[in-house]
Amino acid sequence: MHPKIRALLAKFPRVELIPWETPIQYLPKISEMLGVEVYVKRDDLTGLGIGGNKVRKLEFLLGDALAKGADTIITMGAVHSNHAFVTALAAKKLGLDVVLVLRGKETIKGNYLLDKLMGIETRVYDVEKTPDLIPYAEEVAKELEEQGKRPYIIPIGGASPVGTLGYVRMIGELSTQMMSLGLKFDTIVDAVGSGGTLAGILLGLELTKLEVDPVGMAVGIFGEKMTQKVVDLAKETAKLLGVSVELKEPRIHDYSFGAYGKIVREVAELIRLVGTKEGILLDPVYTGKAFYGLMDLARKGELGERILFIHTGGMPGIFHYGEDMLRLLNLQ
């Protein structure tokens, strides 16, 4: 762990949910196809339930909740939400109650199947976008307070300064891995949903002075709005850490294929390619689209000679959208 990152994070309560450093894996066949070196940091293997990037954020968010004496966790997402399920599993593991405030069709697949299997309390509302759930989450918190409970609301995707500390810490871990492996990356690529992961990467790179270009592949909201959201979150997190930093804007490219959660044939094909070439499973909502963007931009020479992809998990999305993908691949 980078000493400066360790020192800066020491004052923040953190529960250890990830018992190891996630590995960095070389992808020989994809690298050969692209003519550049592609590595992947396996944050799909963060080790709690379905793994993924949210576990890093939850180490600090749940640490904060416990430090504040909370006894019930509330968070939000779509019914297929990776964030919602892994938050609920971590909360239960820590002996906390949890209520998930969700939107969408209650299909018993993927993460929603896991929610039910684990006996997690879910409240599902018919709203268009996840932020529309915020008033409902606040209502649930009020209801719990009236019952004498002490609720703690985790924002969508864990995208808050406290949650962002998780990816500042990841860069601290990565910097020492790069040193021991003798590796230097030109770019670091991740999928952008709420923007918290990229914000942590951006701030962590500045704090460690690692000269690696952060590149986000937006799978939903894109453009100036998202870039500003990422930079603002990184700045708020720097303020939380008590450091002043100069942050350069990250490059964020639109690989949503038109809309968040839109399942497309090109990504289903890419998931099959990476799965059969490298034995690594990507998902159709986040990592499959982000890796599609990585291959697209690498072919155009826009990501340098050595690229690191952050595999942020999302496996249940394969099972939530599996039939859609089979149809798109003319297999059903």
Ligand X SMILES: NC1(C(=O)O)CC1
Q: Is residue 288 part of the contact set for ligand X (CB under 6 A)?
A: no
Between strands 151-154 and 251-254, the pairing is: unpaired
Q: What is the pattern of x (binds ligand X, CB under 6 A) and - over residues 182-221?
A: -----------xx---------------------------
Least CB distance to ligand PLP at residue 142 (A)? 26
Residue whose CB is nearest to ligand PLP in the complex, by number: 193
Least CB distance to ligand X at residue 49 (A)? 13
Q: What are phi and psi of 103, to 5 degrees?
A: -130, 150
Q: How far apart (Å, rounded) are the C-alpha atoms in residues 298 and 291?
A: 10
Q: Is residue 164 part of the contact set for ligand X (CB under 6 A)?
A: no
Instruction: Work out the number of other CB atoms within 10 angstroms of the CB of residue 134.
Output: 15
Say which residues have a Cβ less than 8 Å from residue 273's Cβ, sequence separation at least 6: none
Q: Is 301 exposed, middle or buried (0-12, 13-18, 19+ CB in 10 A)?
A: exposed
Residue 84 contact, options ligand PLP, ligand X, none, Cβ 5-8 Å cut-off depending on partner type: ligand X
- The alpha helices in 78-221, defined as continuous H runs, are 82-93, 110-117, 134-146, 161-181, 196-208
Name the one range near ligand PLP by CB under 6 A: 178-186, 194-202, 207-215, 251-259.
194-202
What residue has token string 């309390």? 121
Active site residue 81: yes
Q: How far is CA 49 from CA 82, 182, 286, 316, in A?
A: 10, 32, 18, 11
Residue 53 contact, options ligand X, ligand PLP, none, Cβ 5-8 Å cut-off depending on partner type: ligand PLP
Instruction: Work out the number of other CB atoms within 10 angstroms of the CB of residue 182.
Output: 6
Q: Is residue 290 part of the contact set for ligand X (CB under 6 A)?
A: no
Q: Is residue 218 part of the contact set for ligand PLP (CB under 6 A)?
A: no
Q: What is the pattern of x (binds ligand X, CB under 6 A) and - over residues 66-85?
A: -----------x---xxxx-
> What are the beta bridge partners of residue 188?
214, 308
- Find the binding residues for ligand X in span 301-330 (CB under 6 A): none
Q: Which residues bind ligand PLP (CB under 6 A)?
A: 52-53, 82-83, 157, 159, 191-197, 286-287, 312-314
Q: Which residues bind ligand X (CB under 6 A)?
A: 77, 81-84, 156-157, 193-194
> Which amino acids are annotated catalytic?
81
